[in-house]
Structure formats: C-alpha cells, structure tokens
Amino acid sequence: MSRFKAAILLILGAFCFSTTGVFQSIAPEEASPWIISEARLSVGCLCLFLWCFFTGKLPQNWKTLPWKYILLCVLCIVSYSPLFFFSVKAVGVSTTAVVAIGVTPLWTATIEKILYGNDPPIRWYMATFLAIAGIVHMNAESFTGGTSLIYSLLPIAAGFVYGVLLVTTPKVLEYLPAETTMMIVMGISSFVMLPVLFISPFGWVFTKQGILVVLGIGIISVGLAFSLFMTGLKYTGSVIGSTLGLAEPVGAALLGILVLDEPVSQLQVGGLHLLFASIVLLVLGQIALQDFIFPNKKNKSTKI
C-alpha cells in the first residue's frame, strides 16, 4: 500500500473516531462514562470478531502472539476511555477531542525519541507547529468559568496514553492484521472493565436511545475507526500517524458545531483552519511527492 493511500485511511479512521463525543452527548442522562466505555469496547470487539471470522483473519496460533505489547495496548485502551469521557462531561466534545488528540503528536515524538532515538522529519515540525497554533486558537476561551484544574489535565493525560498506544500498536501489527489486533485488544479491555457494571447503572443501554448510542459508538467510532486507522498506521509510522490523527479534532469540532449546535467563535474557526493546514501539509506534501512524482523510488524508512 502506498503511503498516500495509507494517509487517507488514517484520516478516514480519525473522522470515525470524531463521532465518539457526539454519541456520548446524545446518550441518556444516566449514562456514565464507565458504561459507555465498556459498551463501546464490547460492541467494537464483537463487530471486529465477526469481520475477522468471516474473512479468515482469526489467529491460528495464540501462543505465538506478542502478548507483552498486546497487554500494553490493553492498558492504554482501558486508561484512555475514562479519561476521554470524563473530560467530555467537564469541558465539552470539541475541547476534549482537540486537546487530547492535539497533544498526541508531541507525546508520540517524545516517546519515539526516548525509546528508539528516532527524530521526526522536518515537515513534521512544521505541521505540528501549525497544529499547536490551531489548538491554542480553539481553546483560548474553553477553560474559563470555573473549570477544575483536574478536568483541564484529563485530555492532556489522555493524549499521553494515546501516544503510547500509537507507538506500541505497530509492534503487534508485525504479527497480525489491524482488525485482528484491535479485536484482541478490545476483547481483553472489555473483560478487564466488566466490574464497572456493578458500580454504574446500565439499564439505559436497553432503551431505543441507548441502543442507538451503543451501536453507533461501537461500530463506527471503534470497529470501523480502529480498522481504518491502524491499517494506515502500519504504513506511515506512529509519529506521522499521530499528526494525521488531528483530523479527529477537526471532525469533532465540526460535528459539535453542526450537529450539537455548540457555540463557535472566530478564534475557533481560525484554529480549525490551522489544524486543517497541518494535515494538508503532511498529506499533500511529501507523501504525494514520493508516491506520484517519484513512484519508483524506494524508501526503506517508514517515515514520511
């Protein structure tokens, strides 16, 4: 697969991720972040299991799987979900998605540098600078009105956990397809989080509105999202993938504005433009250059 096509898959996956906050916002009032997290993992795992079963992608030898990396991915998934959903309740869909995903490229590059000594390409610095500028614009008015410091830090912590996930997942993708990887990770994560059923009410799941939310968040924002995103990540690398993941806050902000009727200021509109520019810089810059102008030039590195 060319890196340009992989980048498109990453962006499509990121837009599917962006529906998460919207589904939570339309969930019944008694829906807690814990139950939503468990529901999205369970339904997402079931969706991916059915896909893997009918396409012959289930593992043949479970003993040879890279369990060390799989369990680290599980820890990231279990940690990320409550961090994200509690943040949404406190600071809103747009702000949570923008901050959590916006800081992820910085965390990812830092982790890659510490663990493997890898330096991002120059183009990444330019794109990340635009992204940070966009984040500053979009959040200039967000953390006002008495928002607790702990809730302000939650999306930043979620970004760190997501960065660890993006660095770890490619290790598992060396052994398994993206769909199979996420099916296993989500299945174990769902099992780990089962105790939340005893501490939070979940009767709302069986209402019409609850069923819509659970199916939507499981199939679209988990099953489809992770399959597309992780497949693209395999061919672009974690640092570039995390930056292209900025399509998620762009999508979340647009959905928050268009679907949820969240207020928008000129600063937020300017921030969206900067975030979009950072994505365009990566996708239509060096990726397009290498795939179309020099299509036969081999590059052993996964960096773009």
Residue 74 — pLDDT band, cuts 50, 70, 90? Answer: very high
Whether pLDDT at 284 is above 90 = no
**How many domains does the chain divide into?**
1
In-domain check, residue 300: no
Whether pLDDT at 285 is above 70 = no
SS3 248: helix
pLDDT tens for each residue of 115-159:
877 777 777 777 777 777 776 676 665 545 455 555 667 778 888
In-domain check, residue 213: yes
Give the percent of the chain with pLDDT over 70: 77
Give the percent of the chain with pLDDT over 90: 8
The pLDDT of 283-288, averaged and rounded, is 54
**DSSP string of 127-155?**
HHHHHHHHHHHHTTTTS-SS--HHHHHHH
* Per-residue confidence (pLDDT) for residue 300, from 0 to 100: 41
In-domain check, residue 298: no
In-domain check, residue 188: yes
For 221, other C-beta atoms within 10 Å of its C-beta total: 24
In-domain check, residue 36: yes
pLDDT tens for each residue of 18-41:
887 778 778 887 877 778 888 888
In-domain check, residue 299: no
Residue 8 — pLDDT band, cuts 50, 70, 90? Answer: confident
pLDDT tens for each residue of 87-117:
766 666 666 766 777 777 778 888 888 887 7
In-domain check, residue 225: yes
In-domain check, residue 15: yes
Tokens of 223: 């099953």
Range of the domain at 260: 3-293
The pLDDT of 148-175, averaged and rounded, is 81
Residues 75, 70: Cα–Cα separation, whole Å:
9
Categorise residue 263: left if φ over 0, alpha if ψ from -120 to 50, beta otherwise: beta
* Per-residue confidence (pLDDT) for residue 277, from 0 to 100: 77
* Per-residue confidence (pLDDT) for residue 252, from 0 to 100: 73
- Overall pTM > 0.75: no
Residues 11, 77: Cα–Cα separation, whole Å:
20
